[in-house]
Amino acid sequence: MNTDLQFGSGRDREFVFTEKDFERVCRLIYEHAGISLKSSKQDMVYSRLARRLRANGINNFRDYLALLESDNKIEWEAFVNSLTTNLTSFFREPHHFPLLAELVIKQKGRHPLSLWCSAASTGEEPYSMAMTMVDAFGSFTPPVSIVATDLDTNVLAKAEAGVYPVERVEKLAAEVVKRFFLKGTGVQSGFVRVRPELRAMISFRQLNLLSDVWPIRGPLDAIFCRNVMIYFDKETQLKILQRFAPLLQPDGLLFAGHSENFHNAAHLFRLRGKTVYELVKPKSHDHHQVK
């Protein structure tokens, strides 16, 4: 097979993008982030990375990929950020949040509680967790700490800022918006900002789920790992699930995305509700720092 052939729409493209280039992109992002790109993603990859070629003043993918492989740290970060998919929303899969509230209400005697949102994207999910905690404890300073992590540094910066266009909250009940968000005025009109009390409950950090070391301290009451495993192959998923299990409290919960299932880790996790898992064999937590 001639792997130097361009894809169908290649002739109209600004930059030469061969099948070999696409395969190189796939290999790099898989090795670094575990993301498996299907061949149907060729156009998406082209358009996202074409911006990086323009930004670097490079006019072909081969040179761009050589730049990346020369271990250019700044471009690596931009490359990774370009290839992640960050779709999210507040209270996405609403059935998860009453279960989270129930879990922490049961634990009210044991403080502080610890939650981890492991693919936080632009922050809607960890802020939904924080709002749920405020409701569960009837206080804007509940004894709960939330760690929100993501691989992508761009989305993490947005999450940390906690500022959203009003359209992002328009599906929420008016009283929820009033209670948890501040409306922008002047140059900020058209935007809302999460209340500082919610922001104070969350610490944001970059974390690659593929890294050997996670700066996460257990035991955790809940791990949200939603809509990120779908980008990983089963082997990678299993490795991550094996590291989640000892981080959880014996009665802790693991929340997955709507199209994800962890049947391949049935020895570790069993279904407790719709896309919510509990430990099969809760273990004692001798090692809370997972390496």
Residue numbers of the site for ligand SAM (CB under 6 A)?
33-35, 84-88, 92, 119, 121, 125, 150-152, 155, 207-210, 226-228, 231, 257
Tokens standing for residue 231: 């980008």
Closest to 59 (Cα-Cα) out of 13, 6, 106: 13
Distances (CA, A) of 23 to 11, 12, 69, 91: 19, 20, 14, 36
Whichever of 136 and 148 has its CB closer to ligand SAM, that residue is: 148
Q: State the nearest-atom distance from the C-beta of 118 to ligand SAM, in Å.
A: 7
Catalytic, 48? Answer yes
Active site residue 217: no
Which one, 88 or 249, has the nearer CB to ligand SAM?
88
Closest residue by Cα to residue 124 from 99, 102, 150, 145: 150
- Catalytic-role residue among 48, 193, 243, 270: 48
For ligand SAM, give the closer residue by CB, 92 or 193. Answer: 92
CA distance 285 to 219: 7
Measured between alpha carbons, how far is residue 286 from residues 53, 145, 181, 249, 290 in Å?
A: 48, 21, 40, 11, 10
* Nearest partner of 25 among 72, 76, 74, 59, judged by Cα: 76
Spell out a b/e string for 9-43, using b for 16 or more CB atoms within 10 Å of the CB, else e.
eeeeeebebbbebbebbbebbbebbbbebeeebbe
Residue 113 or 228 having the CB closest to ligand SAM: 228
Q: Quote the CA–CA distance of 266 and 280 in Å, as a whole number.
A: 8
In the complex, minimum distance from the CB of residue 158 to ligand SAM, in angstroms, rounded to a whole number:
10
Q: Considering the complex, what minimum distance in angstroms separates the CB of residue 63 from ligand SAM? A: 26
**In the complex, least distance from residue 156 CB atom to ligand SAM, rounded to whole angstroms:** 8
Show Cβ contacts of residue 135 under 8 Å, excluding neighbours closer than 6 positions: 101
Pick between residue 21 and residue 125 the one whose CB is nearest to ligand SAM.
Answer: 125
| In the complex, least distance from residue 207 CB atom to ligand SAM, rounded to whole angstroms | 6
CB of 231 to ligand SAM, least distance (A): 6
Which residues neighbour 1 within 8 Å (Cβ) at sequence distance 6 or greater? none
Residue of 150, 152, 195, 199 marked active site: 150
Nearer to ligand SAM, 24 or 226 (CB): 226
What stretch of H or E contains 176? helix 174-180
> By the 8 A CB rule, do 239 and 231 touch?
no
Catalytically annotated residues: 48, 150
